[in-house]
């Protein structure tokens, strides 16, 4: 009778503290246009008597990760991971020095790596992220995250998530939404920590991926990660990834860069109530200030498109009371 126990507990809780859930929504958001827009949208789609009501099964909200839910400066966290892992493994792979991009990365010459563009980053990922099972890779990432520290904030990366966005995720879920990550980052890299940090299950993480292959390893069936690209979940790839994985057009999309443009466009072009939001990094003091000229989190076209499209633009500096969660 576990179900009964749970129902009784919930009833008791709600009778004792009837206003709890709603009163606590979005405490780290300052009152203003962004907070109002979020709450008004949620109220419209959850009011069963209203014309904009959306059944819970269709309340799909998609979130970019880097720069939308956690820090992406001075470089993507996954890139920091790949660079460190490359250096760690390099002594066993003298052949990597023949590859100009890999050699530059090993030598710490990030300009050359950056100049190699997406192809260069992919080469880095291939050699550092393949050759093991997904479970083994996730364990490697978890180990790294436990000891790695952000160069400026000197904290674990998983503590450099945005408190107002954590509250937004929780608020949407309390209102019957299913929250998905849709990120250009590697899907297994993200799955290793998102359940603990965002309360988002592995099945609700959409990302870029390399291929895996089913093999018998020591007589046991296993998946092995291959040094071969499978899918890039960025830009025009995001709607494709969403459709392939979720199979429904979301009603709300949250991003911070031009890599989220098509996701925002496709989400908000659907019929019925729609919501698009861009986190604008305007706070050099508490976090970072960047947009049109940044290579990580480049925000230009999407920022220009926002007013006509009706997307909410969050001004981090004025809209957020705090940026990071309280220290643990």
Structure-token pair, residue 189: 């890299």
Phi, psi of 155 (to 5 degrees): -125, 160
Q: What is the dihedral of CA 203, 205, 207, 210, to 10 degrees?
A: -40
- In the complex, the smallest distance separating the C-beta of residue 182 from a copy of itself, rounded to whole angstroms, is 12
Q: What span, in angstroms and rounded, lies between the C-alpha atoms of 268 and 262?
A: 10
Q: Is 93 strand, coil or helix?
A: coil
Name the minimum Å distance from CB 138 to a copy of itself: 9
Looking at the Cβ atoms of 175 and 256, the one nearer to a copy of itself is 175
Helix (H, G, I), strand (E, B) or coil at 258: helix
Closer to a copy of itself by CB, 2 or 51: give it: 2
- Tell me whether residue 162 or residue 171 sits nearer to a copy of itself (CB atom): 171
Cβ closer to a copy of itself: 71 or 187? 187
- CB of residue 48 vs a copy of itself: minimum separation in angstroms? 8
What is the 8-class DSSP label of residue 29? B
Are 161 and 69 contacting, i.e. CB atoms less than 8 angstroms apart? yes
DSSP H or E run through 147: helix 134-147
Nearest approach in angstroms of CB 80 to a copy of itself is 23
- Between 120 and 237, name the residue whose CB sits nearer to a copy of itself: 237
Eight-state DSSP code of residue 269? T
Q: CB 263 → a copy of itself: shortest distance, Å?
A: 9
Contact residues toward a copy of itself (CB under 8 A) are 1-4, 7-8, 10-11, 14-15, 18, 21, 46, 48, 57, 134-135, 178, 187-188, 191, 195, 201-203, 205, 209, 211-214, 220-223, 230, 236-237, 239-240, 243-249, 262, 265-266, 269
């Amino acid at each position: 009778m576990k179900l009964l126990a749970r129902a009784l507990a919930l009833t008791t809780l709600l009778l004792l503290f009837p206003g709890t859930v709603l009163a606590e929504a979005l405490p780290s958001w300052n009152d203003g246009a962004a907070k109002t827009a979020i709450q008004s949208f949620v109220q419209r789609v959850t009011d069963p008597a209203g014309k904009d009501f959306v059944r819970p099964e269709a309340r799909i909200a998609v979130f970019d990760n880097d720069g939308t839910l956690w820090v992406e400066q001075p470089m993507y966290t996954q890139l920091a991971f790949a660079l460190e892992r490359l250096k760690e493994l390099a002594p066993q792979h003298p052949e990597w020095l023949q590859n100009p991009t890999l050699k530059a990365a090993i030598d710490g010459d990030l300009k050359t790596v950056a100049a190699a563009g997406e192809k260069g980053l992919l080469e880095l990922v291939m050699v550092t992220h393949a050759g093991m099972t997904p479970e083994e890779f996730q364990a490697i990432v978890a180990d790294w995250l436990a000891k790695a520290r952000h160069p400026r904030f000197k904290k674990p990366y998983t503590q450099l998530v945005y408190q107002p966005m954590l509250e937004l995720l929780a608020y949407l879920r309390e209102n019957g939404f299913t929250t998905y990550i849709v990120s250009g980052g590697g899907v297994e890299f993200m799955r290793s920590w998102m359940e603990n940090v965002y309360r988002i299950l592995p099945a609700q993480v959409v990302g870029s991926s390399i291929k895996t292959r089913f093999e018998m390893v020591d007589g046991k069936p296993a998946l092995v990660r291959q040094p071969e690209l499978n899918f890039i979940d960025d830009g025009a790839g995001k709607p494709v990834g969403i459709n392939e994985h979720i199979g429904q057009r979301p009603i709300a999309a949250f991003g911070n860069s031009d890599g989220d443009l098509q996701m925002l466009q496709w989400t908000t072009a659907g019929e019925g109530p729609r919501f698009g939001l861009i986190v604008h990094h305007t706070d050099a003091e508490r976090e970072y200030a960047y947009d049109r000229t940044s290579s990580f989190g480049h925000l230009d076209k999407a920022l220009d498109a926002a007013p006509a499209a009706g997307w909410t633009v969050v001004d981090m500096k004025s809209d957020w009371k705090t940026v990071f969660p309280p220290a643990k």
